[in-house]
Structure 1
Amino acid sequence: MKNRILIPLFASSVLLGCQESNQPNTQVSEVNDKLVEKKIIPQWVGYYQGTTPCMGCFSRCEDCPGMAVDVELKDDMTYVLKRESLSGHNEIETLQGKIVFKDSAQTKLELLNVQTRNQLFVDLENKMLEIRVDKTAEPYQAQNDFLLEQI
């Protein structure tokens, strides 16, 4: 006598269902695309650059060309900072790390892993960063010498 194997209806429907699940789900893909499109990028995110007084000065000197400063603020709360002495005395300094906001309006921030000139003020209206005095975050007396424009 031959043994018959009975496959329950449930098992066969599961096997057939697996074949259908290999097809791409366009609804899920469309939802993911819409979420990516709607990602809101904060206004402070971007590239900023300018020329500031050299590290030892609090305002521009006639004899010193100053420093070229580039800062990239990223939406993942990180930054990349490049500083170059225009007098040629130092190598290009590249620093990176995390950003910490000091206020709820996200206009006062600190660049972690930066020892000097790590306090910044974001001027969203004029699309600028202002480098502030270390620790106190007060403006420098020659405030206009410490501005970086968003590019």
Structure 2
Amino acid sequence: MNLLLVLITFLLMEAATWLIHKYIMHGFLWSLHKDHHDHSHEGHLERNDLFFVIFALPTIALLFAGMRADYNYLFFIGLGILLYGMAYFFVHDIFIHQRIPFLRNTKNPYLLAIRRAHKQHHKHTGREQGECFGFLWAPWKYFSMYFRSKTSR
């Protein structure tokens, strides 16, 4: 049952992330997210990186509260969020934005699709007219581009 709760939380985090990204990061907290789009920051860190802390705090609180209550459901919800955060960091920061050069020349259709969708998202430097607000899933048109080309060979 606990593993199922972790999995469901992980999957629901993609929907939550889409909503948070579209309505909060591109909404009233645009001032923190803006430098991620217009590259107005200096150095390796962006104001946008503060979202790591913002999202980590409730995760830590859930893990801690769940541990104190004999590893109840709160711990496993926190674990699902933590695992999603780790996947997000790997996919978004390491793979897509190449903060650490890794998988640069991949041929994997899934990775190519989410990279393409994210590039579409960054095509708009302003807060309006955005698209593709998710991180681990993208609209089917991006996946079909690569699966179709792979199967037509």
Q: TM-score range by the shorter chain?
A: under 0.3
Between Structure 1 and Structure 2, which shows a larger proportion of helix residues? 2
Between Structure 1 and Structure 2, which shows a larger proportion of strand residues? 1
Larger Rg: 1
Name the structure, 1 or 2, with higher relative contact order (CA <8 Å, separation 6+): 2
